[in-house]
Amino acid sequence: MSSQHRRIERAPLSGSAVPGEVPSRGRRRHGPIRVVCTIAAVCASTLAVGVDAVAQDVDPAPSTTIAETPELGPTGPEATPPPRSAGPPSPPPAPPAATGEPVADGRNERGEVVGFSDALASVEVTSDRFDLADAALKAAMGRLAAAQAKVADATTRAQSLAATRAALDQSAVRALVRKAKLDRMKEVFRRRVRDFAVARLVGRIDDDVYPDPNETIAEALERSHEGWLVDETSRQAQTALDHMQEAGRAQAAVLDSLQAQIADNTADATRADRDNGAASSDVNAATAELPALTTERQLARANTLVGGSDLPLVALDAYWRAAQAASSDPKLACSIDWWALAGIGRTESNHGRYAGGEAAPDGRVTEPIYGIALDGSRGTAVIRDSDKGVLDGDPGIDRAVGVMQFIPSTWKRYGADLSGDGIADPQNVYDGALSAARYLCATSKDLVNDAGLSAAYFSYNHSLAYVSTVLARSRAYQQLGVPSANRRG
């Protein structure tokens, strides 16, 4: 057979020529290509589904109020959220607790007088000074309570914002990770789309330039199907790429939203910290006011006048307690009431208010009271020093001391502690009142009738004018309607 009419044999799959046959141009192996294209198509579909999963895996933005919003740091897969500002500051100190609160009849657990006797609760008192001091203290306490409430609110806001910030930071990190994953997937599909396009272009040029004259109809159909498969796979890859680009834009929007929320949260946290600082300053200022205002209120309360008189409440309480104690003491066996002591206290030191002083709630006078030197001048007897100046401050000559004006030697004998602090102090109205009651009871057992009172008052000060003045004042105080303290009727 001539070479022109020689039959062209189909080349073996290995591509090697059989001796005596003209080799073909190396036709494409359609089977393997189909497998590759099929796998590529499946991968494209699978990755497209993966894109949906990644794109939809977005944490819901934390529920925030207008005061719960913050700032995202640098973005990117490796970025870490910026540090939160320091926690709210610890909440601000409470006002100092009152010590020695009364537990029974105006005395604390140590037995010290810190309030007034329960028996005097119904006594009417009046004082503009107390009203002003009470109003000032209540106003300061109101400011303190308001400032403390602001501190608590700012602290709560700061804690809430900190929790929101932590959630936003976690969401931001996850969003950055998802965005990075989408970026990698986009790059993979971008290369795949490009590779398919190049492969298809090369295959078509090959078919157009080097047509196979020995191709059967079945082979042509197979080749056409392979071309369609490549085109379809390329289209799916492009669709997946488009989907991922859209998902990337959505993820970028999520990051932008988180950045805005974090920025708002940071601004609100800054405001909460600032509010906390301002409120804490107000707490400190109000707390600093309280001791002085409390002291003034206590002094004002102690020196509030019993209605219709010049008698301070603290002095009344001292005389009342002293009369009750003396009339209850079987050793004294004395009938005495509070008003009998009030007459002396008014005459000797104006109830502790001599020289502008006053009695504190515990009975101690704010200005120590000393009488004139008992050196024989101005009609006084000469009394040499008996205490080396310990009580009266004069080491050379004695002076009467305290609210009830005892000379040191007499105080040494009759001085007693009624205030409960363990010290017999002549400058304390409680101690002075009980000491005076003991002195009077040593003179007369009946200190309710004028005769007994007059005798006792004369013993206290050898002056009839003094006795008359004290007795008149005592009887006037008796009319105030204060409950009796005399346990002997």
Please tell me whether residues 161 and 240 are part of one structural domain.
yes
Q: Among residues 302, 335, 359, which one ends one of the domains? A: 302
| Radius of gyration, alpha carbons of the chain | 52
61 burial level (CB within 10 Å; 0-12, 13-18, 19+) = middle
Please tell me whether residues 397 and 424 are part of one structural domain.
yes
- Note down the domain range covering 191: 40-302
Mean pLDDT of the 273-298 span: 94
- Cβ neighbours of residue 27 closer than 8 Å, sequence gap 6 or more: 11, 212, 214, 215, 219
Please tell me whether residues 291 and 358 are part of one structural domain.
no
Please tell me whether residues 344 and 198 are part of one structural domain.
no
User: How is residue 230 annotated by DSSP?
Assistant: H
Please tell me whether residues 281 and 312 are part of one structural domain.
no
Distance CA 204, CA 210 (A): 10
Residue 342 within any structural domain of the chain: yes
Please tell me whether residues 118 and 239 are part of one structural domain.
yes
Using 50, 70 and 90 to split pLDDT, how confident is the model at 489? low
Please tell me whether residues 313 and 289 are part of one structural domain.
no
Backbone φ, ψ for residue 148 (5° rounding): -65, -40
SS3 state at 324 = helix
Please tell me whether residues 381 and 458 are part of one structural domain.
yes
Closest to 404 in 3D by CA, of 428, 387, 382, 385:
428
Residue 5 within any structural domain of the chain: no
Q: Among residues 262, 283, 302, which one ends one of the domains? A: 302
Please tell me whether residues 141 and 116 are part of one structural domain.
yes
**CA angle, 50 then 51 then 55, to 5°:** 120
Backbone φ, ψ for residue 25 (5° rounding): -85, 15
Using 50, 70 and 90 to split pLDDT, how confident is the model at 301? confident
Residue 280 within any structural domain of the chain: yes
Residue 13 within any structural domain of the chain: no
Say if CB 477 and CB 309 are below 8 A apart: yes
Residue 104 β-bridge partners: 107
Half-sphere exposure of 172 (CA within 13 A, CB side): 26
Dig out the tokens for 164 from the structure: 């929101």
Q: How many domains does the chain have?
A: 2
pLDDT tens sequence across 224-245: 777 787 778 878 888 888 888 8
pLDDT tens sequence across 94-121: 333 334 567 788 899 999 998 899 999 8
Residue 483 within any structural domain of the chain: no
Please tell me whether residues 223 and 264 are part of one structural domain.
yes
pLDDT tens sequence across 450-477: 999 999 999 999 999 999 999 999 999 9
Distance CA 354, CA 372 (A): 13
Say if CB 336 and CB 326 are below 8 A apart: yes
Please tell me whether residues 371 and 397 are part of one structural domain.
yes
Residue 3 within any structural domain of the chain: no
Residue 461 within any structural domain of the chain: yes
Please tell me whether residues 351 and 293 are part of one structural domain.
no
Q: Among residues 270, 302, 334, which one ends one of the domains? A: 302
Residue type at position 266: T
Residue 8 within any structural domain of the chain: no
Q: What is the CATH number of the domain that holds 371?
A: 1.10.530
